C-alpha cells in the first residue's frame, strides 16, 4: 500500500461548490471515513461529514465513493485503486446541506405515510400473541435495515427522475414488506402501495440490492413479493375472485399459528 493517497472531496452547499484534492497518509486497516477524518483534522477543519458508529450499523456516513453509493466506514482503502484519485461526494439524490452532508428527512416523511402495524386481537388472556418462528423468519431480514438510504440514493426513479411525490423508494418498500408480511398484522397496504407509493414505477434494476450494506435482498424478497400482492388484488382476475371467495387467500390470518 502506498504511504499517501489523493482524495477528491466535494466542498460546498446548496448554492454551489467544487471538488478539492487532499492528500492523506495511509496506514494498514484504514477505511475511507478514517481518511476523511484525518483530512478534517489536519487540512479542512470545516469539512462537514456525518458519522456515528464507524461499524456499519448507524447508516450515517453514506456517500458516493468513486461514483458508487457506499458507507464510508465500511469501505476499506485496500479495496480502492489508490494509485488514482479517490472521489468522495455527497448522496446525489437528496438536497445538499454542506460538503458530504445531505438532508434525508424526506425518507422519514414518506415513512409516516405508511399504515402502522395493526395486530389482530391478542391470542391469550394476558394480552400476548403466539407466533411460529417460521412465520417471522422472513421479515427478520427486513429488520436489518439501518436506514443509510443508499438504496434510495441509487434508485434511478428518485435519482434521475426525481419522482419523490409519486414513489416511496426501496427503503420504504422494505418497511412496508416488514409490516405487510407480519404474521400478526391485519392492515391492507396494497391500495397505498399501488397508488400513493407508486410501486409500479420500480423497474427491477436491482441497484438497491446491489448497494445495500446489510445485504438485504430488497428486490427479490421485498419489492417483487409486494408487486405480486398488488397483482393479486388489482390486476389478476383469478386471484381477485379467489380473494373475494376465500378470506384466507390474501394470507392475512386472523388466528394464531400452530405451535
Partner 1 sequence: MAQAVAITQQDRFGQTSRRDAWWASPAAVVIGLVAFVIYTTWAALQGANYRYDGYLSPFYSPELWGSPQAWFGATRPWWYPSWLVFTPALFILWIPAGFRLTCYYNRGAYYKAFWADPPACAVGEPRQSYWGENYFPLLLQNIHRYFMYLAVLLVLALLTDVWHAFWFTDASGHEHFGIGVGTLVIALDVFLVGGYTFGCHSLRHLCGGRLNQPSLCPLQSKLYSCSSMLNRRHMAWFWCSLAWVGFSDLYVRLCAMGVISDWRIVF
For 137, the grid coordinates are 423468519
Instruction: By CB under 8 A, tell whether 201 contacts partner 1.
Output: yes
Nearer to partner 1, 106 or 201 (CB): 201
Q: Which of 48, 163, 164, 240 binds partner 1 (CB under 8 A)?
A: 163
Q: Which of 28, 29, 81, 116 binds partner 1 (CB under 8 A)?
A: 81
Please choose, out of 53-61, 85-93, 94-102, 108-116, the segment that lies near partner 1 by the rule CB under 8 A: 85-93
Give the footprint of partner 1 on residues 26-45 (CB under 8 A). Answer: 43-44
Angle 15-52-25 (CA atoms, 0-180°, nearest 5)?
A: 80
Please report, for residues 4, 91, 226, the alpha-carbon distance to residue 22 in angstroms, rounded to integers and kept in the order given: 10, 20, 45
Instruction: By CB under 8 A, tell whether 22 contacts partner 1.
Output: yes
DSSP at 70: E
Give the footprint of partner 1 on residues 168-197 (CB under 8 A). Answer: 181-183, 185
Adjacent-strand bridge partners of 43? none
Is 196 within 8 Å of 146 (Cβ atoms)? no
What's the N-to-C CA distance of the chain in angstroms?
A: 56
Give the footprint of partner 1 on residues 123-152 (CB under 8 A). Answer: 132, 134-135
Helices 170-180 and 224-234, interaxial angle, to 10°?
70
Question: CB burial class (10 A; 0-12, 13-18, 19+) of residue 127?
Answer: exposed
Instruction: By CB under 8 A, tell whether 228 contacts partner 1.
Output: yes
Binding site for partner 1 (CB under 8 A): 8, 11, 17-22, 43-44, 64, 66-69, 81, 84, 87, 89, 92, 132, 134-135, 154, 156-157, 159-161, 163, 181-183, 185, 198, 200-207, 210-211, 219-220, 224-225, 228-229, 231-232, 235-236, 249-253, 257-258
Amino acid at each position: 500500500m502506498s504511504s499517501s493517497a489523493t482524495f477528491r472531496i466535494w466542498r460546498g452547499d446548496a448554492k454551489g461548490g467544487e471538488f478539492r484534492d487532499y492528500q492523506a497518509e495511509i496506514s494498514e486497516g484504514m477505511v475511507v471515513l478514517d481518511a476523511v477524518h484525518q483530512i478534517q483534522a489536519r487540512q479542512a477543519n470545516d469539512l462537514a461529514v456525518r458519522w456515528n458508529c464507524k461499524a456499519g450499523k448507524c447508516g450515517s456516513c453514506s456517500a458516493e465513493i468513486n461514483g458508487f453509493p457506499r458507507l464510508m466506514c465500511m469501505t476499506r482503502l485496500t479495496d480502492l485503486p489508490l494509485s488514482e484519485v479517490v472521489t468522495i461526494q455527497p448522496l446525489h439524490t437528496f438536497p445538499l446541506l454542506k460538503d458530504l452532508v445531505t438532508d434525508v428527512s424526506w425518507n422519514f416523511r414518506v415513512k409516516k405515510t405508511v399504515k402502522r402495524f395493526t395486530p389482530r386481537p391478542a391470542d391469550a388472556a394476558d394480552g400476548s400473541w403466539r407466533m411460529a418462528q417460521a412465520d417471522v423468519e422472513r421479515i427478520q431480514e427486513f429488520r436489518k435495515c439501518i436506514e443509510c438510504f443508499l438504496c434510495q440514493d441509487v434508485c434511478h426513479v428518485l435519482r434521475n427522475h426525481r419522482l419523490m411525490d409519486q414513489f416511496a423508494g426501496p427503503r420504504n418498500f422494505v418497511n412496508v414488506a416488514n409490516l405487510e408480511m407480519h404474521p400478526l398484522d391485519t392492515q391492507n397496504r396494497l391500495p397505498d402501495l399501488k397508488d400513493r407509493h407508486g410501486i409500479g414505477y420500480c423497474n427491477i434494476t436491482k441497484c438497491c440490492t446491489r448497494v445495500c450494506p446489510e445485504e438485504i435482498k430488497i428486490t427479490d424478497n421485498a419489492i417483487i413479493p409486494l408487486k405480486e400482492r398488488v397483482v393479486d388484488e388489482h390486476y389478476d382476475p383469478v386471484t381477485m375472485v379467489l380473494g373475494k371467495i376465500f378470506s384466507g387467500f390474501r394470507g392475512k390470518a386472523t388466528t394464531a399459528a400452530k405451535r
